[in-house]
Amino acid sequence: MVLAVITLIYLISAIRLGPPMRDGNMTASFFPIAIGVVMLLALAAAMAHAIRGSRGVTRAKPAASDDAPAARQYLGLSSGAIGVILLTAGYLLAFDMIGYFVSTFFYVLLLCSLFGGGFTKGLVSRIIAAVVITLAGYLLFEIIFQVRLPTLWSQ
Amino acid sequence: MDSISGLLGGFAALANPETLLYMIGGFLIGTFFGAVPGLTSVLAIALLLPLTYSLDVTTALVACASIFMAGMCSGSITATTINIPGAPSSMMTALEGYPMQQRGEGAKALGHAALGSMIGGSLGALLLMVMAPLAADVALLIRTPGKFSLIAFALIVIIIAQRGSVTKGMIATLLGLMVATIGIDVVQPLARFTFGSSVLIQGIDMMPLIIGTFAISELLIQADSRSDRTVDPSKIQAAKVRRRDFIPPFSEVREIGMMRYLKSAVIGYAVGILPGAGGSMAAFVSYAESMRSSKHPERYGKGNPEGIAAAECANNSMCGGAFVPMLTFGIPGDPTTAIVLGVLVINGLQPGPQFMTQQLDLIAPMFASLFVSALILIPLTLYLLGPYFLKIVSIRRDVLYSSIAIVALVGSYVATYSTFQMALALVFGILAYFLRKQNYPSVCLLLGFVLGPSLEEYCRRSLSISDGNPLIFVTSPDSLFFLALTLVFFYFMVIRKPKTRLPQAEASET
């Protein structure tokens, strides 16, 4: 459904670029309009296929959904994935504002806690890991590959 | 003669200590990423891509080639020892390797896998060196309408190669094509789909798309797992191996036969040339053919070294074949070669028919790296590190994925020194996460994005040559050839599907 909405926005924008053909030649809108139309057809086919499939499953196994508890999902995202997205979005904001060192240290520390299953378990080893990964990243990018990373003082 | 001396010069370039260091380093990284379940050599090369901004192009290509080769063979380590293929291309190896492991012959199975990889990888690299210049000569004959039909052929084959999910492959490819149209039009100076944002005028860079699709989406998927380590430590104790057991007995190698190795290498190479096929398809086709032609097909699925040799020989030989369309036509057929194309584009190089002759000094070391990685580094790594493989790949997930996140995100920053690229990588990561969760092949997204601009450009140029008459695509012989080839592939891959029965399928039915 999300893809269908994106495709519709894309198709409307493509149509607003102008007519697809002018003087017998393709214009800048021809290709996007063609892609948009084919995409909508493909999405309709996928949806029809999914509906047919779900009907078949319901007929064959009416009580299949009771077998195992599904992981909690929010808008199709698992709680772990949401955690990674929020941490990464925060990191991107902090990266420019407070520089590489501070932002990376806290990002790695929080990410380690997320992947390690909690904030209290093995906190010391995670702090050490965060320091080592931050320094290793600095060594790799700034020293070896000479990439100028933002610092707190360069803002 | 010039090309022979150029190719030999590639081997000489490996003598440079820095280049050699990157080749060995790349091989070890590729081995690690290929062996850890969930990680792939594609991810390793994707993480290397940002570093190529600061790296010499030859060195970067050498590292990419060794990662590619290592990633193909190292998936067999966990496939054999704990029945979890480290890479999708090692699924057929798991069918034979794990039963051997259960019989106490795990080390021997790894030895057969390494031998097959060594033979297949080196033959594939040799075939690449011989065939690529010939393919380049053929490529010179293809004109604009033919180029359009060739790219259309590549995209259609990539879609229909997605067994059981052709519609999803098509949607992912079209999504890639849509993303590729953002920015300045390929023919006219007109901005498209920028939605008033000046940062989108230049279009979407390949880097955030690759990092997002392969690195960030992997982080999001792995965030669901609750285990502390990549491989359960209790399984390591059960899978102890000794160094001397790695050498396969000569009697078994003779029983497998040189012809089987050669045939598997040729199959793998040919599958590699096909767009979208990849190592899994090469291993599958070769394994199926090996079983069909075997004197003892009943032994397959019960720990038969023949099956391991056929699968591993083919998936490593595929590495050589995959480079042919990318180098001669500028058409990558799989994610690895698409990223290697990115390395070339970042350095201002555009592959095409004359690329092999004009830039041989730059790419010959990459060929040499493929060959040396297969012939020397595969057996050497197994012998030296084999007993410790499982300990190496069983590392803390929090440390591993945090490190990947930093390399991926800071790597995205390298291209333009802007956090916008990092944000784009996150956006593409979320998109790829949803696609992967719904079983959409994310590789189609990447290949659609890479091939999209050329497809549009050649289509529009062809039609402007013919005053808008689409019949130019059937009246031009080269174009007609590729359209006919598309129909042939469609017939064999969609209408008349292969019906080989494999042990896994048979087992699941009983």
Instruction: Give the chain A residue nearest B184 (alpha carbons).
Output: A28
Please tell me the predicted confidence (pLDDT) of residue B231. Answer: 65
> What angle separates helix A100-116 from helix A79-98, to the nearest 10 degrees?
170
Q: What does the pLDDT average to over B500-509? A: 47
More confident residue, A60 or B111: B111
Lowest average pLDDT, out of A32-41, B192-201, B426-435, goes to: B192-201
Above pLDDT 90, what percent of chain B?
A: 26
Inter-chain residue contact B405 with A147, CB threshold 8 Å = no
- The alpha carbon of residue B11 is apart from the nearest alpha carbon of chain A, in Å, by 25
- Give the range among A129-133, B252-256, B349-353, B407-411 with minimum mean pLDDT: B349-353
- Whole-angstrom Cα distance, residue B361 to residue B9? 7
pLDDT value at B498 more than 70: no
What pLDDT score does B348 carry?
Answer: 83
From B32, B42, B37, B448, select the one nearest B215 (Cα to Cα): B42
pLDDT at A7: 93
- Of residues A96 and B499, more confidently modeled: A96
Q: Which of residues 61-90 of A touch B (CB under 8 A)?
A: 71, 76-78, 80-81, 83-85, 88-89
Phi, psi at residue B419, to the nearest 5°? -75, -10
B48-60 burial, b at 16+ Cβ within 10 Å, e below that, comes to bbbbbbebebbbb
pLDDT at residue B238 above 70? Answer: no
Please spell the DSSP secondary structure of A27-69, one letter per residue.
-TTHHHHHHHHHHHHHHHHHHHHHHHHHHHHHHH-TTGGGSSP
The structure tokens listed for A88 are: 């990464």
Number of domains in chain B: 1
Among B18, B190, B399, pick the best mutation site for testing chain A contact (most A Cβ within 10 A).
Answer: B399
Q: How far apart are CA A134 and CA A145, in angstroms?
A: 15
Question: What local confidence, expressed as pLDDT, does residue A92 receive?
Answer: 94
Of B53, B405, B426, the CB nearest to A89: B426
Asked if A24 lies within 8 A of B55 by C-beta distance, the reply is no
**Residues A36, A38, A41, A47, Cα dihedral to 10°:** -80
Q: What are phi and psi of B305, to 5 degrees?
A: -60, -25
- CB A133 to CB B399 under 8 A? yes
> What tokens does B76 get?
């067999």
Q: Domain range for residue B402?
A: 2-509
Q: How many CB pairs below 8 Å do chains A and B form together? A: 165
Assess contact for B234 and B444: CB atoms under 8 A: no
Predicted TM-score (pTM) of this structure: 0.81
Of B53, B220, B225, the CB nearest to A84: B220
Q: Does residue B2 carry a pLDDT above 50?
A: yes
Report the range out of A49-58, A70-79, B51-60 with the highest average pLDDT: B51-60
CA distances for B384 relative to B41, B242, B378, B380, angstroms: 21, 11, 10, 6
How many whole angstroms separate alpha carbon B177 and alpha carbon A32? 9
Which distant-in-sequence residues (6+ apart) come within 8 Å of B202 by Cβ? B183, B184
Task: Reply yes or no on whether the pLDDT at B276 is more than 70.
Answer: no
Q: What is the pLDDT of residues B452-485, one digit of tens each?
A: 988 999 998 898 888 888 899 999 998 999 999 9
Which one of B398, B407, B430, B442 makes the best mutation probe of the A interface by having the most chain A beta carbons within 10 Å?
B398
pLDDT of residue B509: 37
Which among A85, A88, A129 has the least Cβ separation from residue B409?
A88
pLDDT at B302: 86
Distances A122 to A118, A127, B226, B396 between C-alpha atoms, Å:
9, 9, 15, 12
Mind listing the pLDDT tens digit for each residue in B360-416? 888 899 999 999 999 998 888 888 887 777 677 777 888 888 998 998 898 888 777
Give chain B's mean pLDDT. 85
Compute the distance between CA of residue B384 and CA of residue B172 in angstroms, rounded to an integer.
42
Q: How far is B41 from chain A (nearest CA, A)?
A: 20
Beta bridge partners of A22: A25
- Contact between chains at A111 and B417 (C-beta distance less than 8 A): no
Length of chain A: 155
The shortest C-alpha distance from B437 to chain A (Å) reads: 9
pLDDT digits (tens, 9 = 90+) for A3-27: 899 999 999 999 998 888 887 778 8
* pLDDT over 50 at B301, yes or no: yes
Q: pLDDT by residue (tens digit) across B15-48?
A: 999 999 999 999 998 888 888 776 778 888 888 8
Most confident of A73-82, A92-101, B274-283: A92-101
Interface of A with B in 88-147 (CB under 8 A): 88-89, 91-92, 95-96, 100, 104, 107-108, 111-117, 126, 129-130, 133-134, 136-137, 140-141, 145-147
Distance CA B81, CA B105 (A): 10
State the pLDDT at residue A66: 43
User: What is the amino acid identity at position B177?
Assistant: L
User: Residue B122 to residues B126, B310, B313, B320: CA-CA distances in angstroms?
Assistant: 6, 15, 10, 9
Identify the residue with better confidence: A154 or B394.
Answer: B394
Domain parsing of chain A, residue ranges:
2-62, 77-154
Rounded to whole angstroms, what are the CA distances from B318 to B41, B390, B450? 14, 26, 21
Which residues on A lie below 8 Å from B189 (Cβ)?
A: none
In 10 A of CB A5, how many CB atoms?
Answer: 9
Cα angle B455-B457-B463, degrees, rounded to a multiple of 5: 100
- Chain A residues near residue B187 by CB distance under 8 angstroms: 28
Q: Give CA–CA dist B132/B368, Å, rounded.
A: 14
The three-point CA angle A121-A127-A131 to 5° equals 155
User: Mind telling me how many Å the CA of B228 is from chain A's nearest CA?
Assistant: 6
Alpha helices in B353-441 (DSSP H): 355-358, 360-372, 378-385, 389-393, 397-414, 419-437
Q: Indicate whether B451 pLDDT > 90.
A: no
Residue in B closest to A8 by C-alpha:
B178
